[in-house]
Amino acid sequence: MRIRNRTPLWRRVVRYGGRRLLHFAESNSVARIDRNGELWLIRGLISLYASRGAEPRLTVIDAGANDGDYTAVVLREAKRRGREITVHAIEPSPRCTAHLRARFAGCAEVRIVQAAIGNRTGTGMLHGGDCGSTHASLVSRQVLAGAGEIEVPMMRLEDYLGEHSIETVHLLKLDVEGFEMAALQGLGDKLNPDLLHFIQFEYGGATLEAGTSLLELYRLLSKAGYLVAKLFPHALEVRAYNPGMEHYAYSNFVALSPRWHGLESRRDRPE
CB neighbours of residue 82 within 10 Å: 8
**Within 13 Å, how many C-alpha atoms sit on residue 84's CB side?**
6
Whether the pLDDT of residue 129 is over 80: the answer is no
Whether the pLDDT of residue 271 is over 50: the answer is no
pLDDT of residue 137: 83
Rounded distance between C-alpha atoms, residue 127 and residue 144, angstroms: 7
Whether the pLDDT of residue 127 is over 80: the answer is yes
pLDDT of residue 146: 67
**pLDDT one-digit tens code per residue, 226-266:** 999 999 999 999 999 999 899 999 999 999 999 887 655 33
pLDDT of residue 54: 66
**Interior CA angle at 115 toward 178 and 225, to 5°?**
55
On average, the pLDDT of the chain sits at: 90
Out of 80-89, 143-152, 204-213, least confident range: 143-152
Mean pLDDT along residues 136-146: 74
pTM: 0.90
**CATH entry 3.40.50.150 includes domain 31-268:** yes
